[in-house]
């Protein structure tokens, strides 16, 4: 199966420009059937993607102080997580207060900008997409034809296809 057969077309996604705020994103997502927003630059090209995780991380500004190593540590023990939580004073404000503070943050400040190696081509085999997910790329995966973004490959859709294949093989 080719990626293009399972991807969600880009036209079905909510888009915002780089000057939009998290308040704008939350409002747009309230009427969207997807949980991600595509962020478009002034030239009309994809600048990044704003996922649920990006929005949650934006609520607590102290996460910016954590290095990639600290956030993606090799051993996430309960003690380690509790120590980081305490050391960085994470979530010391109420959730309502954090939401109030983040409403005017620009999506361009918190969106994820995928590296070139994180894009899939429409003609890639689904197995290549599965490989991307297993090796830990940000989701959803962006699909393109040549250099034009044409869709997104969502983990839920990939898993639904895998589940269907497992159940149909009589395993």
Q: Domain coordinates of the chain in residue numbers? A: 3-168
How many angstroms separate the CA atoms of 129 and 112, rounded?
A: 18
- Which pLDDT belongs to residue 69? 44
CA angle 13, 31, 59 (to 5 degrees): 85
Q: For residue range 28-78, what is the model confidence (pLDDT) as tens digits?
A: 999 999 999 999 999 999 999 999 889 988 887 766 666 544 555 555 566
Q: Is the domain defined by 3-168 classed in CATH 3.40.50.1820?
A: no
The DSSP secondary structure of 33-53, one letter per residue, reads: SSS-EEEE-TTSSEEEEE-HH
- Which pLDDT belongs to residue 98? 76
How many angstroms separate the CA atoms of 82 and 51, rounded?
A: 25
How many angstroms separate the CA atoms of 126 and 129, rounded?
A: 5
Measured CA to CA in angstroms, residue 48 lies from 16, 41, 144 at distances of: 10, 9, 14
């Amino acid at each position: 199966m080719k990626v293009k057969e399972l991807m969600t077309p880009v036209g079905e996604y909510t888009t915002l420009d780089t000057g939009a705020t998290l308040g704008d994103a939350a409002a747009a997502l309230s009427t969207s059937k997807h949980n991600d927003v595509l962020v478009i630059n002034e030239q009309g090209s994809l600048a990044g993607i704003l996922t649920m995780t990006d929005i949650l991380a934006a609520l607590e500004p102290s996460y910016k102080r954590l290095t990639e190593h600290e956030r993606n540590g090799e051993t996430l023990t309960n003690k380690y997580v509790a120590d980081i939580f305490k050391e960085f004073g994470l979530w010391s404000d109420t959730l309502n207060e954090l939401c109030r503070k983040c409403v005017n943050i620009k999506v361009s400040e918190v969106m994820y900008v995928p590296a070139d190696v994180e894009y899939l081509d429409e003609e890639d085999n689904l197995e290549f997409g599965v490989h991307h997910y297993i090796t830990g790329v940000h989701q959803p995966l962006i699909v393109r034809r040549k250099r034009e973004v044409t869709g997104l490959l969502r983990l839920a859709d990939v898993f639904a296809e895998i589940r269907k294949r497992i159940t149909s093989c009589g395993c």
